[in-house]
Amino acid sequence: MKSSTITLLKILTWLACLSPAAWLAFGAFTNNLGPDPTATITFTTGLTTLRLLTISLAITPLRRLVPQLSWLIKFRRLLGLFAFFYASMHLMTWIALYTGFDTNAMAADIVKRRYITMGMAAWLLLLPLAATSTNWAIRKMGGKRWNRLHKLVYIAIVCGVIHYWWQVKTGVLTPLTITVVVAVLLLARPVLTWVQRRKVRAVVA
Ligand code: HEM
């Protein structure tokens, strides 16, 4: 893949990742966020976080299945950082619009509502990943330790999915599609490793 093509794709990725925030900002300025703007902001930021995490999770299995797509790795950090950006907007929406910056209300919500506890866990797991996303941090930590730490993304995405299920009403199945996609992507890794090992064994035998 030519570097000019990568640059163009990066610009397009930036625009695509910024579009939900731009849509929310435009809706806020034009008073057009529907009857419950807080719910619209929570929904858009929460779902965008999950979608971006899911897309970044798909990169490794895709590269392993189609080696010609190995350049996709250049997009993983960008997608991960945008996921953290939206998770933080989502968290700020809760802090500002649900609790009104009231620390007692925040503490009570975290303790009493299990979906808030799970959401908070997901955000806290993403925090060290965002903090160590620079080249400097990778160099300082060393590839092995950095890779080990960044495995936290799997737990974070599972917490995000559980958080989604726990906040919908009983019987509502909207989180199902993303749950299936995440489950397939999480299973793809061990399955692909197993298939690869079998192939190597067959070649050696
Ligand atoms: C990686 C972290 C997180 C992800 C992926 C995530 C994702 C989601 C999703 C997909 C929804 C459903 C939106 C809807 O259908 O309306 C949601 C709702 C919500 N989330 Fe999160 N969330 C995360 C973290 C948090 C955190 C840290 C908090 C606050 C502490 C939080 C508070 C809420 C609230 C208040 C709702 C709306 C519940 C309602 O409609 O009553 N989330 N989240």
pLDDT digits (tens, 9 = 90+) for 133-179: 999 999 999 999 999 999 999 999 999 999 999 999 999 999 999 99
Percent of the chain residues past pLDDT 90, beyond the cut: 95
**Mean pLDDT within 50-57:** 98
Assess whether pLDDT exceeds 80 at residue 25: yes
178 Cα nearest atom in ligand 1: 10
53 Cα nearest atom in ligand 1: 5
Residue whose CA is closest, atom 17 of ligand 1?
Answer: 46
From the number of C-beta atoms within 10 Å of its C-beta (0-12, 13-18, 19+), residue 127 rates as: middle
pTM of the model: 0.94
**Mean pLDDT within 102-110:** 97
59 touches 75 (CB < 8 A): yes
Neighbours of 8 (CB within 10 A): 11
117: CA distance to ligand 1 center in Å? Answer: 10
CA torsion angle 24 78 87 146 (round to 10): -170
Assess whether pLDDT exceeds 90 at residue 21: yes
From the number of C-beta atoms within 10 Å of its C-beta (0-12, 13-18, 19+), residue 159 rates as: buried
Pocket test of ligand 1: the residue of 48, 94, 154, 163 to mutate, having most ligand atoms within 8 Å of its CB, is: 163
Residue whose CA is closest, atom 39 of ligand 1?
Answer: 167
141: CA distance to ligand 1 center in Å? Answer: 31
Structure tokens at 55: 């897309």
DSSP state at residue 71? G
Task: Give the span between the Cα atoms of 183 and 180, in whole angstroms.
Answer: 5
Residue whose CA is closest, atom 42 of ligand 1?
Answer: 119
Residue whose CA is closest, atom 31 of ligand 1?
Answer: 119
